[in-house]
Structure 1
Amino acid sequence: MIGRKIVTIGAVLVLCAALPAGARRAPALAVQKPSAEQLDPQLVGDLVAANRILAFQEIFEGYGHVSVRNARNPDRYLLSRSIAPGLVTPADVMEFDLESRPIAAGGRSLYSERFIHGEIYRSRPDVHAVVHNHAASILPFGITGVPLRPVYHMSSFVGTGVPVFDIRRAGGATDMLVSTSALGRELAATLGKGPAVLMRGHGATVVGASLPQVVGRTIYLDLNAKVQLQAMQLGGTITYLSPDEVEKILAGGEQGSYGRDWEFWRQQVMEK
């Protein structure tokens, strides 16, 4: 008769069968671990920092998300599990393919709007980081027809304006969430080749060539919206940046891709 014994694996007790002498044991099944263990730790750390920076800057509250393309495999991207952004740790970071399927979910919950990220990465090879947020400053410009335009040099990337994605035109009456690949493709099409897209009654999505750039653009887009709204309330004529001014500012490297900002913001949230 085959006996039984208790084996401890980590903190888990497993009831095993003791095999008779000479019997062969079947090979153990490999257990797939969460993908963050195989990812570039620097990239994971920067993604954690980006989440915390945008929470500290009050762009994110309990909702919103930021992702980064996997430099080792451009057909995949990194995004945290569904959690308040200010609470993200390296252990929360997951890897997804461009269909927005997790490589190793490990039972963790997923953001329902991860398709925003997957479809933008699919359509824009130049994009290496994406932010989706619900900043209140942005909302008026997505529901009034008043265009969001650059009012100062730090938001020159806005260019001639930011397009508005109306999910009603793409999917009829919905819950306003971009929770399918089809809706993600429609959002990416509205974004086009630009740096940002507003989302009617929802928020905005911002893209960049790196995490520092997308975080910088997100923060300065929020500030631009606040300043533009304040200027409109004064009732005078607003002098926006001209196309020539925008071109010359961007020719200088768009604030050095926000490297100085990034260093300061990262220290604020990661080195306490």
Structure 2
Amino acid sequence: MADRTAAIADLVTAAHTMAALGLVTAFGHVSARHDDHMLITPAIDLRLATTDTILQIPLGTATLPPEMPGEAWVHLAVYQARPDVTAIARAQPEAALAIGAVTSRIPPVHGQGAMLGEAVPVHDDARLMRSLDLARTAARTLGQADALVLRGNGAVTTGTTPGHAVARMWLLDTSCRLYLAARQAGTSKALTADEIAAWRAAAPPLLDRLWTYLQRATVESSADAA
């Protein structure tokens, strides 16, 4: 029970942080694998998420209860395809929406971007992930990457914790903006395979540091606004 309680608390913190970062508006959710179930935020403004609002559903379900977010399917499909993934963030960064319209693959142009994978694939289907079949197709496009852009429909990022998934969503937004700027400036130079491998090997503690920073930055921003 303690583990479940801690997992729910982590989800609420991740939801609040993603909302404070401006990565979501009225749409978006965060989930975590817990034993043979998925814990997920409901279809609400993530600023309003509390421990009492977190929903639970079996990972192998064939139907979604009415209170579940309609796109919970994409979370379930990724968990089913990727046993290594234990947390997922779903958001709509504007830069990801823009980049999904101009390319099918986003190579990293800075070291931190390599923590999203050798390249971020773009899933060429703008429909809502409102069925398991559509979601499984998107999960296949994700492959072994840690982030996926859904053309016209935002993005998905993965992690071993909700914090890592949100940190990767922030990195994805940054990477998309940098890639678009590099393309506009001229021919961009992506990282080499060796450079990507070095950054990916260093990723876990760097994601911890980034997650700590993002939480503190959003708390300080809220305090300043008050």
Q: TM-score range by the shorter chain?
A: 0.7 to 0.9
Which of 121, 145, 151 is matched with 1:163 structurally? 121
Q: In structure 2, do the counterparts of structure 1 residues 100 and 261 end up closer, same or farther at CA, with 3 Å as the change threshold?
A: farther
Q: 1:62, 1:84 within 8 Å by CA — same for their partners in 2?
A: yes
In structure 2, the partner of 1:95 is 56
In the alignment, residue 218 of structure 1 is paired with which amino acid? M
1:222 maps to a residue whose letter is D
2: CA distance between counterparts of 1:153 and 1:214?
18
Secondary structure, aligned partner of 1:155:
helix
TM-score by length of 1: 0.74
Is 1:127 matched up with 2:77? Answer: no
Count of residue correspondences? 220
Distance 1:57 1:94 in 2: 23
CA deviation profile, 1:183-239 (whole Å, cap 9, x unmatched):
1111111111211121111111111122222111110110011112122222x3322
What corresponds to 2:200 in structure 1?
Answer: 250
Which residue in 1 is equivalent to 2:107?
149
Asked if structure 2 preserves the Cα contact closer than 8 Å seen for 1:212 and 1:257, the reply is no
Secondary structure of the residue aligned to 1:137 is helix
User: Mean alpha-carbon deviation: is it higher for 222-231 or for 159-168?
Assistant: 159-168
> Which residue of the partner structure matches residue 83 of structure 1?
44
Match of 1:231 in 2: 182
- Show structure 1 runs of 5+ residues with no match: 1-36, 169-175
Seq. identity, %? 28
1:257, 1:95 → 2: CA distance?
30
Structure 2: which 5+ residue stretches go unaligned? Answer: none
Cα distance change, pair 139–67 in 1 and its aligned pair in 2 (3 A) = same
Distance 1:266 1:100, change over 3 A: farther
Aligned-residue RMSD, C-alpha:
2.3
CA spacing shift, 1:270–1:97, aligned 2, 3 Å: farther
CA–CA separation in structure 2 for the residues paired with 1:118 and 1:183: 12
Contact 1:82 1:110 in 2 (8 A): yes
Greater helix percent: which structure?
2
Superimposed CA distance per residue, residues 138-190 of structure 1 (whole angstroms, 9 cap, x where no aligned partner): 1222222363121111111244322222237xxxxxxx211111111111111
How far is 1:76 from its partner? 0.7
Q: If you compute each CA radius of gyration, which structure gives the higher value, 1 or 2? A: 1
Residue number in structure 2 paired with 1:218: 169
Distance 1:229 1:152, change over 3 A: same
More relative contact order in 1 or in 2 (CA 8 Å, sep 6+)? 2
Please point out which of 94, 110, 117 is paired with 1:136.
Answer: 94
Matched with 2:215 is 266
Structure 1 residues 100 and 223: alpha-carbon distance in aligned structure 2, compared to 1, 3 A threshold: farther
**TM-score w.r.t. structure 2 length?**
0.88
- C-alpha change, 1:138 and 1:232, in structure 2 (3 Å) is same
> How far does the alpha carbon of each residue in 1:226-266 deviate from its partner, in whole angstroms, 9 at most, with x for none?
112122222x33222111111112222x1515212222333
